[in-house]
Amino acid sequence: MTTLGKAASIHVGLGFDTASYVDLDKAKAMRAAGYAFVARYLRRDQHVNQNPDLSGGAVSLSVLELRQLLAADLQVSLVQFGDGKLVPSAEQGTTVGAAAAANARALGAPSSVTLWCDVEWSSGAAPTEPQPVLDYINAWAAQVVAGGYRAGLYVGPNVPVDGKSLYYDLPKITGYWKAASKTSWVAERGFQIIQGLSFTTAEGLNIDPDMAAYDGRGDRCTVIAPA
């Protein structure tokens, strides 16, 4: 598999995430509007499309789209789709984490790029105990690190883990991304990305704006940057 771009620290400032396909024209428009990075999604099973699948619903990142985003001078961050009804376990984390690493490699993502584990639950579907969630994340992170990538955590709504446990009980997680919703604040580190409320751009692209910064330990996440 050909490696696309290079690994680099995320640009401090404005970016966005979206579950929609970003074609070359929209990517160029977003870059011209001041967005420096985009977070795009990996599937939860082991599969990567060469071209975007526009058959309906959320669109995972394809090889073609990644090439276009880099050509538009956008940095690209990789986040795996979450499951708002997930029953978390170490076994699930192992399976889904292995898929994240395999899909990143199939896309051509360079080693050491941060892959984000999206944990969030729908109202009424959230687990009540923290340990299964921690087991899931730790197993997921172990697979990602074994695959040559860094493990990051997107902290979404209804996660039953406090800020201390998010830091001290997840030793392989090297960065955190805060959802726009109410969440725990991660002890020691805080967040490397903070998400804003979603809106639709003038180009018709539904996005969540994001601000990237150094966390409390002076670290930034790693993204795919134009070579």
Between CA 15 and CA 10 the distance in angstroms is 10
Categorize the per-residue pLDDT at 160 as very low, low, confident or very high, splitting at 50, 70 and 90: very high
Q: Is the pTM of this model over 0.75?
A: yes
Helices 130-146/90-107 angle, 10° precision: 30
What is the per-residue pLDDT across 8-20, written as a single tens digit (0 to 9) for each?
999 999 999 999 9
Between CA 133 and CA 141 the distance in angstroms is 12
Q: Give the domains, in start order, of the chain with CATH numbers.
A: 6-225 (3.20.20.80)
For residues 81 and 192, the answer to whether their CB atoms sit within 8 Å is no
Categorize the per-residue pLDDT at 36 as very low, low, confident or very high, splitting at 50, 70 and 90: very high
Average pLDDT, the chain: 98
What is the per-residue pLDDT across 167-204, written as a single tens digit (0 to 9) for each?
999 999 999 999 999 999 999 999 999 999 999 999 89
